[in-house]
Structure 1
């Protein structure tokens, strides 16, 4: 792959700036990554087959350092690469299917005046482009910077899209690193930002055989048949991505033991209403897995099962007789359900949404033996609650399906 370093020019962002652009030091990096990657996949869900889910699969595995050295030999300081990674590194692959993939023009020259940039240019080459579609999960365009913070800053984008002439595969890589680091990976750079792509111009590689060889070296599989989607591959993963748990509050919850377990719970935490829920009302529901193990709604932590159940009751599509709250002994009159009225906001009569609430005991949340489930505060905030008993937890969820 040919190396293209971004030159220094007026009003140019630098790698050091982009790595700080998200300005979110409180939310753990793995949570930011799950939120961004899953929401990107849901936003790109194909409009056909609304009954089928958008699938997002997380894979964490070791990879060969030699593969990185071979693929990105042009532009990288291979001696520094070996020095910074003396042990076999890991990579994270986030793979979505049932989505449109990285569609649209591959170069800015191909964008017509006031034309659509498409998913490809927005994800790979643009920072800070505001989204205008109402159903999109984000608007600032800065969330994607979390990808570069997960490892050395190297991110490989692979996608398969459907065109009027059939199917097309695309692969391109980007590196964003602090240009001031004495141990930076690029041989020479003024900005810390670079891409790898076609030999004749800066755009994605489209030759299937070439792409498949790169994927094979990274342990990834190409899309085939009628499948379209995107795989984001982040090699050279950091070893300190798990958030620090204050052991004065007791032992760390089980999902703090590995990246795989933490990602599993993070998906539940942020997307409990949409995860494995065919009744989701605002688009295709989410099917997610970690290292090949699918996350079923019935296997979610109790607080997230209760959260999904409240959502289902709000949309009124699921029989209450068989839902989770009923199974835990909650009667219908014990669930608060009120329409949210906003005066002067709507031309016609109507409400802005629904407020649902329920008080659950520790027994109903399966915190007692033999289940011994963690407390809601631990599941949501990864730390025990320090407030008064029965401290309420309020979750806001708009149509894209991410919990706030």
Structure 2
């Protein structure tokens, strides 16, 4: 039986609720966060032996509840009321690591900055990591252990000391249930935190170090302590529910669960997040990773993740690019970089589905499912008509930061057909330096401090003492590089930026109609159905296209536009025409003369008006659509309700022949009753 220490304020400043709420990610499955955090902790603790790899083992199994509950003394009765019979546990352990070193108690520490890994992980739950090249900076990632089961976590470690080896074991518990929690009523103010170990004074405990007691506790889970010259750490989470951990595992299109076994899911998750380092003898920043799940080696057997590892090795220069992989440096003009101007390396390619291990176009085992992507509704599905580009990024530690399909790294990069995938990878030049007021920091440290608590994103920051835009600039360069490579080609075979291509297609400005400035005939009517309102044309209204934000979506060109209407309530007509050598011809006229359907047409429009700070959408029923005899949309007409209003929105164009140059002409007429 172990002694209990229920939280009081001088141990940590946290509560159970704050710890459980601290992890900032609610989208990534908990089992993935567990894999990411536990492996990174092990890699950060790699020992200095000549062994070339760190070994991490995941285990799932069962245990008898009453045997475990008996260990926790004063809460045994409450635990027996909650848990009877046989339950499941999940564990992770490592070897070729230093174990959780440092003093056993805070009173033994020389300073608050030298508490060591044992106190940091077991007691100072939100303490950040400070070592160079560590996997994360915020310290909240390790709270994932408390979210997998009942909130109880067992920590066991064996370390090397000056006099030999030392075993240490303690149990922590985090909860947020003041009414029915196992800690409710223990203290005047409920905190939801407790530890078990050996009592040191009235309400203090420290780790158990007696090997016989540790063997007895580990035997509950059919585990053995480290022996010989082995050092490492084992973390056990009792009372997990595998069904709960896998409940996210459902393909939205096939309506089926692709994983019904947590062991198989763990094997995929290890590859998903550690492809750069798993079984990779070409990893150059330290020891590579080997992993087992219930005794079975985790192989790089998923083609997508083998490809990710190949891309990573090319970025680091440890392998030559093959199979048409493209490798390019991403440079910065920032004068604070000390070694060279390289921020990182981009590796990319447009892959055929078969190159990524898919047996068919609609294979459920596609890159989106394998990386837990939620695709934008209306743009693509996991079996979709189009595929969104995907990027992943990493730094020295070798953990994938994230996979993304819709973020700033991919701004305006076009979609592909459903049998093609644009896949890119950005790898930080971790060894480059940054000079901040005469102090040199590694670029890897800047990116590490840029991560959120769950390590899933990078944003520029001022945590080194000054605000830099290194990440923003790198992100823009990556997006521009991919956009130039994969946006539609021009007739002469040159690739241009989206804005450049749009400028060529639509001209340096959107031309006004040929009748612009002429007086309207008395009683002239507009549109197919006509109107009872008299209209006249305006000379004072201008249209602007936001070239920089033009994008391609599902085979369509999305053209943002804006019109400042400064006169009375007006009727606006936007008409699509085709530019020919002798001038512009209407889509309707083109089809009548040629007898064929126009290769350029409107697909849809979104329109909003803004006046006096109020924004309103012009509903579809209030937009008049003009069609040719062949049902080709070539014009939209709508009215503004107030003077001095701003009209803005998006035009969606379908361009089936890149050699055809479309023109958008507009006419604005004042409406009066």
TM-score (norm 2): 0.55
Q: CA deviation at 1:217?
A: 2.0
Mark the CA change 1:130 to 1:10 in structure 2 (over 3 Å): closer, same or farther.
closer
Q: Which residue of 1 aligns with 2:30?
A: 29
Quick check: 1:302–1:373 contact (8 Å CA) kept in 2?
no
Q: Which residue of 1 aligns with 2:395?
A: 398
Q: Which residue of 2 aligns with 1:254?
A: 258
Q: Number of paired residues? A: 387
Quick check: 1:172–1:203 contact (8 Å CA) kept in 2?
yes
Q: Which residue of 1 aligns with 2:610?
A: none
Q: Which residue of 1 aligns with 2:612?
A: none
Q: CA deviation at 1:244?
A: 2.6
Of Structure 1 and Structure 2, which has the larger fraction of its residues in helix? 1
Q: Does 1:15 align with 2:23?
A: no
Q: How does 1:340-359 map to 2 (within 5 A)?
A: 340-343=330-333, 344-359=335-350
Moved over 6 A (4+): none
Mark the CA change 1:186 to 1:278 in structure 2 (over 3 Å): closer, same or farther.
farther
Q: Which residue of 2 aligns with 1:55?
A: 55
Q: How does 1:135-284 map to 2 (within 5 A)?
A: 135-184=133-182, 188-189=186-187, 190-201=190-201, 202-239=205-242, 240-245=244-249, 248-252=252-256, 254-255=258-259, 257-284=260-287
Quick check: 2:278–2:288 contact (8 Å CA) kept in 1?
yes
Quick check: 2:254–2:364 contact (8 Å CA) kept in 1?
no
Q: Which residue of 1 aligns with 2:633?
A: none
Q: How many angstroms apart in 2 are the aligned matches of 1:356 and 1:99?
A: 32
Segments of structure 2 that go 5 or more residues without pairing to the other structure are 402-673
Q: SS at the partner of 1:374?
A: coil
Quick check: 2:89–2:239 contact (8 Å CA) kept in 1?
yes
Q: SS at the partner of 1:17?
A: helix
Mark the CA change 1:176 to 1:304 in structure 2 (over 3 Å): closer, same or farther.
same
1:220-250 CA distances to partner (integer Å, 9 max, x unpaired)? 1110111100000111113411133455411
Q: Which residue of 2 aligns with 1:323?
A: none
1:327-376 CA distances to partner (integer Å, 9 max, x unpaired)? xxx2xxx2111112111232343422211112210111121269967110
Q: How many angstroms apart in 1 are the aligned matches of 2:67 and 2:373?
A: 36
Q: Which residue of 2 aligns with 1:311?
A: 312
Q: CA deviation at 1:112?
A: 1.3
Quick check: 1:77–1:186 contact (8 Å CA) kept in 2?
no
Q: SS at the partner of 1:209?
A: helix
Q: Does 1:294 align with 2:291?
A: no
Mark the CA change 1:26 to 1:195 in structure 2 (over 3 Å): closer, same or farther.
same
Q: SS at the partner of 2:224?
A: coil
Quick check: 2:34–2:144 contact (8 Å CA) kept in 1?
yes
Q: Which residue of 1 aligns with 2:79?
A: 81
Q: Which residue of 2 aligns with 1:90?
A: 88
What value does the CA root-mean-square deviation take over the aligned residues?
2.4
Q: How many angstroms apart in 2 are the aligned matches of 1:28 and 1:250?
A: 20
Q: How many angstroms apart in 2 are the aligned matches of 1:370 and 1:219?
A: 45
Q: Does 1:376 align with 2:379?
A: no
Quick check: 2:19–2:126 contact (8 Å CA) kept in 1?
no
With a CA cutoff of 8 Å and minimum separation of 6, indicate the structure with the bigger relative contact order: 1
Q: How many angstroms apart in 1 are the aligned matches of 2:98 and 2:6?
A: 29
Q: Does 1:116 align with 2:106?
A: no
Q: SS at the partner of 1:317?
A: coil
Mark the CA change 1:25 to 1:259 in structure 2 (over 3 Å): closer, same or farther.
same
Of Structure 1 and Structure 2, which has the larger fraction of its residues in strand? 2
Mark the CA change 1:281 to 1:181 in structure 2 (over 3 Å): closer, same or farther.
farther
Q: How many angstroms apart in 2 are the aligned matches of 1:171 and 1:4?
A: 14
Q: CA deviation at 1:84?
A: 2.4
1:27-48 CA distances to partner (integer Å, 9 max, x unpaired)? 1111111111110000001123
Q: CA deviation at 1:312?
A: 1.3
Q: How many angstroms apart in 1 are the aligned matches of 2:195 and 2:303?
A: 44
Q: How many angstroms apart in 1 are the aligned matches of 2:82 and 2:303?
A: 42
Which deviates more from structure 2 when the two are superposed, residues 385-394 or residues 167-176?
385-394
Quick check: 1:96–1:229 contact (8 Å CA) kept in 2?
yes
Mark the CA change 1:277 to 1:186 in structure 2 (over 3 Å): closer, same or farther.
farther
1:251-277 CA distances to partner (integer Å, 9 max, x unpaired)? 43533x122122111111111110111
Mark the CA change 1:187 to 1:210 in structure 2 (over 3 Å): closer, same or farther.
farther
Q: Which residue of 1 aligns with 2:353?
A: 362
Q: SS at the partner of 1:363?
A: helix
Choose which of 132, 150, 153 in structure 1 pairs with 2:130.
Answer: 132
Segments of structure 1 that go 5 or more residues without pairing to the other structure are 321-325
Q: CA deviation at 1:12?
A: 3.8
Quick check: 2:183–2:192 contact (8 Å CA) kept in 1?
no
Mark the CA change 1:247 to 1:392 in structure 2 (over 3 Å): closer, same or farther.
closer
Q: SS at the partner of 1:90?
A: strand
Quick check: 1:53–1:286 contact (8 Å CA) kept in 2?
yes
Q: CA deviation at 1:122?
A: 0.7
Q: How many angstroms apart in 1 are the aligned matches of 2:97 and 2:270?
A: 18
Quick check: 2:12–2:124 contact (8 Å CA) kept in 1?
no
Q: How many angstroms apart in 1 are the aligned matches of 2:238 and 2:350?
A: 44
Q: How many angstroms apart in 2 are the aligned matches of 1:117 and 1:197?
A: 18
Q: SS at the partner of 2:306?
A: helix
Mark the CA change 1:295 to 1:269 in structure 2 (over 3 Å): closer, same or farther.
same
